[in-house]
Amino acid sequence: MKKFFTIGQVCKCCGVSRSTILRMESRGLLSPARVDENTGYRYYDIYNVTKVLHIQMFLNMGLTYDDAYSYYSSNGKSPELLAALKNRIALLTRAYEEMKLRMNDKQHLQLDIITLPEYVCYQKEFKGASWSDKYRDMYNLFGEVVEKGYRPLISERLFVINNNDGREKEGENTYICCVPLEPSCADENTVFYPSCTAISMLCYGNEQATSKAYAEFDEKIRALGLKPTGCKRGIGIVSGYTGKEFSRENYVSRLIVPIEDLNKEEIDRLNRSGLIN
């Protein structure tokens, strides 16, 4: 059985480019099994090949070279990588739930208890009388974020905090539009939101369906005996400012209300209630 392989053979076997192999070496992730002193040619063994494949698996999962380095340098026991994987699973689960809801192609509601992460937000208060006003204000606020050179948080979407019950009423209502940012962007113009427990309702349909969902959300919170600790947040997952190509009938929104922390007994009670998905 052949013991050593050229860089070309490794690239072909693993489906990567020569520059990718050299990048892994420069980052301390890979070392050739042998380097010819006369020609400088690199040669790799089976362990190198399987490691390249393993690193590619990390990259396909949305992790980084730094995450892979953390894994190997800690003998596979990196708390930072474990946290990154947990976050990745949460994001994938959320994306799956949102797409599945839309695939049903009918108005539907899904209720969950979630943990909101810490947020650093650029935000402003506005007044408006409709969802279109909120979409317009959020669009303009995001434009300010781009102009100021802030970095939006990739993993979290823009949201609106409603200072009332969220349902459209005659005349103008006040609300706060928020753009979550990378933590490094925190300055005197940003606002910090601590991590908290929240109840979440995922809903599908147009603006009228979302307005109706606000009322049903209130009823479910009361039925579950939960104690809100903050105002409702509306996240336009696919809406007027995030999916111009989507029709209004295909909007997906997540409504969130921060609540008091729950102990294990309370969580078990909610699961038995049949109201939580």
Write out pLDDT tens, residues 66-111: 999 999 999 888 888 888 888 888 878 877 877 777 676 555 667 8
Residue 87 in any domain: the answer is no
Range(s) of the domain holding residue 23: 5-77
Both 148 and 257 in one domain: the answer is: yes
Q: Do 170 and 69 share a domain, yes or no? A: no
Residues 160, 247 within the same domain? yes
**Which CATH number fits the domain that encloses residue 208?**
3.20.80.10
Q: Would you give the distance in Å from CA 102 to the centre of its chain?
A: 18
Please identify, among 43, 77, 111, the residue that sits at the C-terminal boundary of a domain: 77
Q: Are residues 67 and 157 in the same domain?
A: no
Q: What is the DSSP string of 36-77?
A: -TTT--EEE-HHHHHHHHHHHHHHHTT--HHHHHHHHHTTT-
Q: Which pLDDT score, from 0 to 100, does residue 242 have?
A: 66
Torsion 93-256-63-73 (CA) sign: negative
Instruction: Please check whether residue 91 lies inside any domain of the structure.
Output: no
In a domain, 105, yes or no: yes
Please count the structural domains in the chain: 2
The confidence score (pLDDT) of residue 171 equals 63
Q: Which residue has the higher pLDDT, 2 or 272?
A: 272
Mark whether 66 and 108 lie in a shared domain: no
**240 vs 250 pLDDT, higher one:** 250
**pTM (2 decimals)?**
0.68
- 44 vs 195: CA distance, rounded Å: 47
Cβ 14 vs Cβ 56: under 8 Å: yes
Please check whether residues 161 and 227 belong to one and the same domain.
yes
- Last residue of one domain, picked from the residues 13, 45, 77: 77
pLDDT digits (tens, 9 = 90+) for 155-169: 788 889 987 654 555
Do residue 17 and residue 120 come from a single domain? Answer: no
Statement to judge: residues 169 and 256 lie in one domain: yes
